[in-house]
Amino acid sequence: MSKKTTAVLLALSTVSCTTMSAGITSLAADEPVTISFVQAQPEYQEAAGQLIQAYMDEHPNVTIELVTDSTNLKTNLQAGNIPEIFYTEGYNVMKAYTDYITDLSDQPWVESISDEALECVTLDGKVVGMPFTMAGEGIVYNKTMFQENGWEIPTTFSELESLCQQIQDAGITPFANEFGDAWLLGQLMSAGGYAYIPDTQDFTDKLYAGEATFSDNEQMQRTFDVIDLMLKYGLPDSLSYGWNETCAAFATGECAMAFEGDWIWDTVNPIDPELDCGIFALPITENPEDTKMIVDANMCWHVGKGSPHPEAAIDFINWVTTSDTAKEILLTGYKIVPCFKGWTYEGNNKLSESTMAYMESGMTYKWWWQKWPDSFRENAGKEYQKYVSGDSSREEVLSAIDQLWTEMTAE
């Protein structure tokens, strides 16, 4: 081969080797309508497949392509490759995507969204997404252990303290604490304090306006009391406990309780399929009426504004919320905790059953961390980790998160 040919071949192979692969499958030009649906959660893959197949069977002119990789979502949105349906966590996270989500306030299913789920998908008074599932967080407890020992669910903080003492006297460690994960501490900050602030929305608005601080708020002190209790009655070295370690400790009976959400079921159940567990709301005051579980929607589907076929996507979502086939798949395939009025929970997650019970009795608080600036929860959690390790005092943690808040809201 001549030198020139070699050079050209080398050039071509180099260029092809350095091209990166695209994130979203391109739309086929010869189908009547093709829409792309971002569904990257592995636990929902199968159910998603069933859902779109059912829709495509009823509507032969529509092809729905599942996109299973959402890591390139932001890049694709920026580049103009907007998918018809994608999901975000709602609230503030969703706000960042404002330019790319369609207003769905006129759709028929908006009225049937349950009250707890509505705020997650509302932006500036307009409904911009379909809430997908509710999740609850509180103290996950081992029901079998509780029944065997005759322990009762506490509804006040002092009852929780004496429960811990009882459990310890029986020779079992009360708590496993996932304090190695900063985001969990950020959530505990809410469940163990923030959510209990009377007129929380007003406080949040004042925080954003710079008129209130965490340091001055009395409920924020309660979070430290809860952490102290969990450390006193918990497994040692809690900073080394992450998701896996905590779920393992709980499922193997090493501890009786843990501050977790109903989502740990999928990790805990395979470890011990016989495990009977539930969640109770974390009490931080002496008034049982205050003790509510924090429950919120944490995922919603949006219709991409500027995508090639948004009307087809809106039709699909309308079908999902009204057709019986879709409802069946959502409840038994995805096993969602429903966000629409009148739907019942049909999955096998015992923890979600507790969540439904609290929802039905109306004893719920919002999560609130989704209204904080992006990743404030995680960064605040890191400051609380310093409290757990003993490097920061209560005042230092609160003033650190105040400073963090000012910095993150300055823009």
Which residues of the shown chain bind another protein in the complex (CB under 8 A)?
3-4, 7-8, 10-11, 14-15, 18, 74, 77-78, 96-100, 179-182, 237-242, 245, 373-375, 378-379, 382-383, 385-386, 388-389, 391, 407-408, 411
By beta-carbon proximity to another protein, the closer residue of 311 and 391 is 391
Cβ(219)–Cβ(196) below 8 Å? yes
Q: Closest separation between CB of residue 246 and another protein, Å?
A: 11
Alpha carbons 216 and 197: distance in angstroms, whole number:
12
Distant-in-sequence contacts of 217-220, Cβ < 8 A, 24+ apart: 219/193, 219/194, 219/284, 220/189, 220/193, 220/194, 220/398
Dihedral (Cα; 142, 144, 148, 151), 10-degree rounding:
40
Cβ(134)–Cβ(337) below 8 Å? yes
Alpha carbons 130 and 151: distance in angstroms, whole number:
40
Q: Closest separation between CB of residue 115 and another protein, Å?
A: 29
By beta-carbon proximity to another protein, the closer residue of 68 and 240 is 240
Three-state secondary structure call for residue 82: coil
Distance of CA 30 to the CA centre of its chain: 38
By beta-carbon proximity to another protein, the closer residue of 58 and 407 is 407
Q: Closest separation between CB of residue 95 and another protein, Å?
A: 9
Q: Closest separation between CB of residue 255 and another protein, Å?
A: 15
Alpha carbons 411 and 334: distance in angstroms, whole number:
38
The residue type at 215: S
The label of the residue with tokens 């950020």 reads 186
Q: Closest separation between CB of residue 151 and another protein, Å?
A: 28
By beta-carbon proximity to another protein, the closer residue of 19 and 344 is 19
Sign of CA dihedral 277, 330, 306, 24: positive
By beta-carbon proximity to another protein, the closer residue of 7 and 271 is 7
Name, in order, each residue with C-beta under 8 angstroms of 101's C-beta and a sequence gap of 6 or more: 94, 123, 128, 129, 302, 303, 304, 305
Q: Closest separation between CB of residue 307 and another protein, Å?
A: 15
Q: Closest separation between CB of residue 69 and another protein, Å?
A: 16
By beta-carbon proximity to another protein, the closer residue of 32 and 306 is 306
